[in-house]
Structure formats: structure tokens, C-alpha cells
Amino acid sequence: MASPFLVPVWDLPIRLFHWSLAASVAVAAASGFLGGAETLRWHVGAGLIAVGLVIARIVWGFTGSTHARFRDFAPRLSDVVEHVHPGSPRHLGHNPLGALMVFALIGLMLVIGVSGLALLGGMFKTGPLAFWSFETGRSGREIHEIAAWAVLGLVALHLGGVAVESLRSRENLARAMLTGVKEARPGDPPVREIPARVPLAIFFLLLAGSGLWATNASLAARAPRGMPVAFDPIIRAECSACHMAYHPSLLPAASWRALMAGLPDHFGEDASLDPATAAEIEAWLVAHAAEGADTLPAHVFARVAHEAPFTISESPPWKRLHGDLPDELFQRASIRSRSNCAACHADAESGLFSPFSIHVPKE
Ligand code: HEC
Ligand code: HEC
């Protein structure tokens, strides 16, 4: 038997895109669903790469070779209906159902990217959307999670679809995505070859790439935007003699008033101050209390336990956030106490408590 005549279907950029997207989505999903603060860097990195790949795919959809072009597989309802019937004609490129999958995945990945940046910006005050409110960030998180589950569902459907379609058409579609070629068959519809427009693609890719680079740079920036108020040096001096300085946005105003009223017996210590200094400190703490800040700690610690009105580390949200950490951790010489936030949160004094700044000491 003569060796089959092979036709090129998937150009190299499409294949590179396909498998790199699969890898980056796998890393982003594993770190997002299974990881915590410690895998967040990986999650955000893989997510940015995935979104970058999707943007490149959109560019290639208008500039790539024949079967890469969106107009080669723009799905029409009649095509979809025809395709699910037995004996439907072969599609060298994406079949109508596969095309729906491509568009759904591209759309969802963009939603995931924007909602992820919204959550980083609104909730953690970092990245290009750092000026968004905490509430917007929280909505972003919900959308991000729903879209992530939807992508998992689509990936499962996609794998099933490839398996079914491979059996039905008796050709290994996964291998074609590796080699880029398929066997020509009698009765294949004629294909009008479209050459890739490489210079145009490179132009748009550079444009998109610089946008991504800027996004990454703004996420990696050391001082996030929209920070709560910087520490007043006098107050830092007075209130960090025995422990780290607690940022005023970590407790509501009522808690600061109660704390300042009880300085002579402050956690078993005498932390008394002269009345003028005490009044000045109290005014500053109250002015910058949790109610007036839009950060994650300000939102979570705004409600404190009644029996411990100003012990942040006794509050239910604090216990919930740190519930996974074993008791012995807090006895380590480098940490000593739950109250020593700065041992694990490098940015504790800023009041921000970014998940990117958590480093639990090893010893
Ligand atoms: C004489 C030492 C001393 C001084 C001065 C002092 N504190 Fe404290 N503070 C303590 C001790 C001890 C604790 C109990 C937690 C610990 O072991 O670190 C504590 C706990 C706290 C907590 C609760 C921490 C948690 O675990 O949630 C806050 C808030 C606090 N201090 C605020 C202040 C403020 C505001 C000032 C300045 C007006 C101040 N402290 C000055 C000794 C001091
Ligand atoms: C022993 C180390 C350690 C200490 C001490 C500690 N934390 Fe944390 N904290 C962590 C870790 C680890 C996480 C992330 C948990 C996770 O994976 O979601 C965390 C999460 C948080 C978060 C959630 C926000 C985020 O970035 O994910 C806040 C807010 C927070 N801590 C505040 C505090 C405050 C306030 C104190 C001091 C009263 C404190 N922590 C003390 C280790 C610590």
C-alpha cells in the first residue's frame, strides 16, 4: 500500500500554543485549587502565561495559516447540527463542536484573567487594578472561581470530545495536534490555502507582550498601590517597645478606644503613657481604624470577639485564616507568639498582609 498523502493542518504556532496552554492551565489549576499562599506566585505566573497565550491565539486567529484562522471554523448552528449526525463530512481543521470549544475556552480564559487581576487589585491592592475596591475584588474572586470550575468542565468535555471524535473518524486527533498533519482522504472538501501574515502577527504579539510585561511588573512591585496609611513614627516608637507595631487598620475604632483605656493593665504589662501622648495616639489609631481602610485585614478584622475586643490573634477570622498552622509553629524561637505577625508577614507593619509577603521561618 502506498504511504498516505499527508496534508498540513496545524501550523507550528498553533501546536506550541495548544500544548503550552494545556501545561500552564494545569499548573494554574493545581496551584489554585490545591495550593495556598505559598503557591500563589506559581498560580499567578502560570495564569499570566495562559492569558498571554490566549491573546497570542487571538492574534493568530486573524493572521495565522489556513486552519488557524477563526473564519476557517467560525461555528454556525446549522454546521453544529449537521456535524452531530452520522456520515457528516470531514473537517480537516476544527469541527463545529471543537470550534465552539475553542471560542468558549478563549472567552473563559479572558474572564479568568480579568477577574484574577480584579481580585488581586481589589482584595490585595496589587497589580494594574489596585485602585479597585475590596468589594469589587471580592466579586472578582467569585467570578474567578466559577470560571475556573467551568474551564475544568470544558477541559473534561474537550478530552471526551477528542476521544469520541478520534474513534468516529478513525484518526488520532491528539497525534495530529503534535505532528500538525492529517492523512488526506478521498472526498475531503477542497481547501483554499491562506498563508500566515507573520509580520502583522509579530507586531500585535509585541504589543500584547508589553502589556503583559507591564502587568507582571506592577504585580511584582514592592510597594503596592492603595496602601493604608503609613505609620506615625511617634506612635511606632511608643507602641513597639514590647512587640511589633500593629497597624491601626487591623482593629475597629471601638477596640482601639477600649485598648487605650486599659493601658495600665495591658496583657499583664503596665503600658501606661502620659495623658497627652495617650490622647494623641488614641486619636491617630481611631482616625485610621479598620472602618476607614479598604484592605483585606481591615475587612476581616473589623469584627472582633466580644470577650477579647482588641486581641487580633484571638478573633475568629484570625483563627480561621491560621487554622491550618500547627500550634508548635508559634513556639519556635523565631516566632514565639501568635501576636508576632511580622515573623511571618514581611509587610505586617504596612497593614497590608499581602499573600506574596508571607514567609514562615523554617527554624
Ligand atoms: C510594656 C510592653 C507593651 C507596650 C509598651 C505595649 N504593649 Fe501591646 N502588648 C503587650 C503584650 C505583652 C501583649 C500580648 C501579646 C504578646 O505576647 O505579644 C500585647 C498585645 C497587644 C495587642 C494584641 C496583639 C494580638 O495578638 O492580637 C495589641 C493590638 C497591642 N498590644 C497594641 C498596643 C499598642 C497600640 C500599644 C501602644 C499604645 C502597645 N500595645 C504597647 C505589651 C506591650
Ligand atoms: C507563624 C506564622 C504566622 C504568624 C505569626 C501570623 N501569620 Fe498570618 N498567615 C500566615 C500564613 C502561612 C497565612 C496564609 C494561610 C494560607 O495559606 O492561606 C497567613 C494569612 C494571613 C492573612 C490572610 C491574608 C493573606 O495574605 O493571605 C492575614 C490577614 C493574616 N495572616 C494576618 C495576620 C496577623 C494580623 C497576624 C498577627 C496578629 C498574623 N497573621 C500572624 C502565617 C502567620
Digit-by-digit pLDDT tens for the chain (363 residues) are 456 789 999 999 999 999 999 999 999 999 999 988 889 999 999 999 999 999 999 999 999 999 999 999 988 888 888 888 887 888 889 999 999 999 999 999 999 999 999 999 999 988 999 899 999 999 999 999 999 999 999 999 999 999 999 998 889 999 999 999 999 888 887 888 899 999 999 999 999 999 999 999 888 775 555 566 778 888 888 899 999 999 999 999 999 999 999 999 999 999 999 999 999 999 999 999 999 899 999 999 988 878 889 999 999 999 999 998 999 999 999 999 999 999 999 999 889 999 989 999 987
| Cα 259 to ligand 1 centre (Å) | 9
Among the listed residues 152, 175, 301, the one whose alpha carbon sits nearest the alpha carbon of residue 228: 301
| Cα 322 to ligand 2 centre (Å) | 6
Nearest CA to ligand 2 atom 35: 341
The reply to whether ligand 1 has any atom less than 6 angstroms from the CB of 242 is: yes
The reply to whether ligand 2 has any atom less than 6 angstroms from the CB of 355 is: yes
The reply to whether ligand 1 has any atom less than 6 angstroms from the CB of 261 is: no
**Can you give the pLDDT at residue 3?**
64
Length of the chain: 363
Statement: 6-220 belongs to CATH 2.40.110.10:
no
Q: Measured between alpha carbons, how far is residue 148 from residues 40, 42, 51, 116, 139 in Å?
A: 15, 16, 13, 10, 14
Among the listed residues 293, 294, 284, 289, the one whose alpha carbon sits nearest the alpha carbon of residue 232: 284
**Can you give the pLDDT at residue 363?**
77
Nearest CA to ligand 1 atom 38: 239
d(CA 355, CA 347): 10
**Can you give the pLDDT at residue 308?**
86
d(CA 189, CA 106): 27
Question: Ligand 2, closest atom to CA 360?
Answer: 2
Parts of the chain belonging to CATH 1.20.950.20? 6-220
The reply to whether ligand 2 has any atom less than 6 angstroms from the CB of 247 is: no
CB 128 within 8 A of CB 121: yes
Question: What's the first-to-final CA gap in the chain, in angstroms?
Answer: 69
Please tell me the number of the ligand nearest to residue 35's CA. 2
**Can you give the pLDDT at residue 37?**
86
Virtual torsion, Cα 154, 155, 158, 162, nearest 10 deg: -170
The reply to whether ligand 1 has any atom less than 6 angstroms from the CB of 334 is: no
Nearest CA to ligand 2 atom 34: 341
Task: Match 516566632 to its residue by C-alpha cell.
Answer: 335
The reply to whether ligand 1 has any atom less than 6 angstroms from the CB of 339 is: yes
Q: Which residues, 6 or more positions from 279, have their beta carbon under 8 angstroms from its beta carbon?
A: none
Would you state the cell numbers that stand for residue 202, as one nine-digit string? 509579530
**Which pTM value belongs to this model?**
0.89
Nearest CA to ligand 1 atom 30: 246
Would you state the cell numbers that stand for residue 264, as one nine-digit string? 495600665
**Can you give the pLDDT at residue 262?**
95
Nearest CA to ligand 2 atom 42: 344
| Cα 242 to ligand 1 centre (Å) | 7
d(CA 205, CA 52): 9
Please tell me the number of the ligand nearest to residue 343's CA. 2
Nearest CA to ligand 1 atom 23: 311
| Cα 160 to ligand 1 centre (Å) | 59
The reply to whether ligand 1 has any atom less than 6 angstroms from the CB of 135 is: no
**Can you give the pLDDT at residue 88?**
82
The reply to whether ligand 1 has any atom less than 6 angstroms from the CB of 331 is: no
Nearest CA to ligand 2 atom 32: 353
Among the listed residues 58, 64, 59, the one whose alpha carbon sits nearest the alpha carbon of residue 197: 64
Nearest CA to ligand 2 atom 14: 37
**Can you give the pLDDT at residue 158?**
96
How many Cα neighbours within 13 Å face the side chain of 118?
A: 17
Please tell me the number of the ligand nearest to residue 341's CA. 2
Question: Ligand 2, closest atom to CA 38?
Answer: 17
